[in-house]
Amino acid sequence: MYSEIQRERSDIGGLMACPEHREWNPELIKPKKLLNPVKASRSHQELHRELLMNHRRGIGVDNKPELQRVLEHRRRNQLIKKKKEEMEAKRLQCPFEQELLRRQQRLNQLEKPVEKEEDHAPEFIRVRENLRRIATLTSEERVL
């Protein structure tokens, strides 16, 4: 009995392998192609559609790894900064402009310690000074 089943299966397998036998025997059930669940998913279809549209437009998918993109971006920014500094240095070649720049730096250094002293004062002292200024301004307005 088992041998008969084996023989029938081998006969069916032989019939399925040859396309001519399918046409001859209308009693055989024609197999249906199974759907691939990945290709049938909506997200896969949308991704495929987007890739096709990008390909048609000529927009390629960036194949570079993220690290390489970041390093290139940094190199580009460094080159831009370097060029800006060179242009600034070329622009300040004039001795008159250099002297103006030195004086401006000295003035900034002299102003910074004054600001630091004011910053270290307690808040109530700064508020009191502001109130005095306001009081003097209002008394001057009354006189006028």
- Whole-number Å distance between alpha carbons of 79 and 71: 12
3-state DSSP call for residue 32?
A: coil
What is the residue extent of each domain of the chain?
Answer: 40-111
Give the pLDDT means over successive 10-residue stretches in the chain (144 positions). 51 51 73 84 90 81 78 95 88 79 90 66 82 77 64
- 121 secondary structure, DSSP code: S
- Whole-number Å distance between alpha carbons of 130 and 137: 11
Q: Which of 3, 26, 5, 32 is nearest to 13 (CA)?
A: 5
Q: Cβ neighbours of residue 61 under 8 Å, at least 6 residues apart?
A: 51, 54
- In the prediction, which pLDDT does 29 show? 85
- In the prediction, which pLDDT does 111 show? 84
